[in-house]
Amino acid sequence: MNTAVRKECTDSTAVLVRRPGPRELHPERTHRRRRALELSLALAVPLVLVLLWQLAAAQAWIDDRVYPAPTTILADGWDRAAAGDLWPDVWATLKRVLAGYAIGTASGYALGLLMGSLSLVRAALEPLLDALYVVPKLALLPIFLNMFGLGEGPQVALVAATVFFFVWISTMSAVMSIPAGYRDAGQVFGASSWQMFRHVLLPASLPAVLVGARIAAGVAVLVIVASEQIAAANGLGHLIFDSRALFQNDVMFVGIVCVAVLGVVFSELVRILGRLLTPWAPRDRGRGQS
């Protein structure tokens, strides 16, 4: 942004003038326009892409049996939702994600906290967990299938294992990077371990933990869809894969859209929850402001 305005003077020496710009002269208007522009851009970009897709399908630039038009997908999704065919799959996926997410977050947070504050526990477990961290969690699905048999067990376990690592690693690094001054102050006042956790470690680490939890929310949906394609009799992942096998491409896209919506809603909920839990933290400016 160029904040300088030049003007020539009568005595031939130039003068550099700093003066108010539009933002200073009309703050309300400039802010309103800026917000309106941001909002319309956020809506317009996806809308244009969908319209382009619609146009391409209508004009037969693409094979609409393979890539059904958005209106077809929407109509099909609407019909299935109205007929009640869609909800069992959505519900099945949601249940697995929530259960796995709860288990993974709780265990990851507990272990991260423990490892962040006690260096002996860290020394004992960090190499092992680091090694497990890099194993693709989907590769563990066969093990979970052997452990829990068919049914909900392996799916939930897989989500939990995935979420666990994200939350564990962000909690541990958050606890370890708490400034020493915070701990020192608590220690000098004679805080017990519980008081230290409650008054210092928990709030100090929470913002970073929540970032990990939000990333984990998206990945949880990603993993459940993949695992349902491999080993489940229902759920959105199963729906997507199954309908492709039956060459019902419109149903496949309905499933994909549902997954996308589920993922956005879930990670948004985690973000809102995080904001409520950490009113002191700087706003996470992921999508727009405020």
Partner 1 sequence: MGEPHPKLQATDLSRTFGRGPGAVDALGPLDLTVTPGEFVCIVGPSGCGKSTLLRIASGLLRPSTGELAIRTTSPRPAAMIFQDYGIYDWKTVLANVRFGLDIQRLPRREANARARDWLARLGLADFASAYPATLSGGMRQRVAIARALAVEPEILLMDEPFAALDAQLRMILQDELLELTQTTRTTTLFITHSLEEAIVLGDRVLVMSARPGRFIAERRPPFPRPRSGEVRSAPEFTALKSELWQLLRPEAVPA
Shortest approach of partner 1 to residue 12 CB, angstroms?
10
Shortest Å distance, C-beta 183 to partner 1? 24
Among 22, 18, 21, CA closest to 6: 18
Least distance CB 211 / partner 1 (angstroms): 24
Of the pair 192, 289, the CB lying nearest partner 1 is at 289
Hunting for tokens 């006042």 — which residue is that? 189
Which residue reads 């909002």 in tokens?
39
Determine how β-strand 15-18 pairs with β-strand 4-7. antiparallel
* Long-range contacts from 49-58, C-beta under 8 angstroms, 24+ separation: none
Taking the complex as a whole, how short is the minimal distance between the CB of residue 122 and partner 1, in angstroms?
A: 26
Nearer to partner 1, 24 or 65 (CB): 24
Smallest distance from partner 1 to CB 277, Å: 25
Q: How far is the CB of 25 from partner 1 (least distance, A)?
A: 8
Q: Which is nearer to partner 1, 31 or 198 (CB)?
A: 31
Positions touching partner 1 (CB under 8 A) are 3-4, 6, 11, 13-21, 23-24, 27-28, 31
Which is closer to partner 1, CB of 4 or CB of 276? 4
15 vs 272, beta carbon nearer partner 1: 15
Nearer to partner 1, 13 or 192 (CB): 13
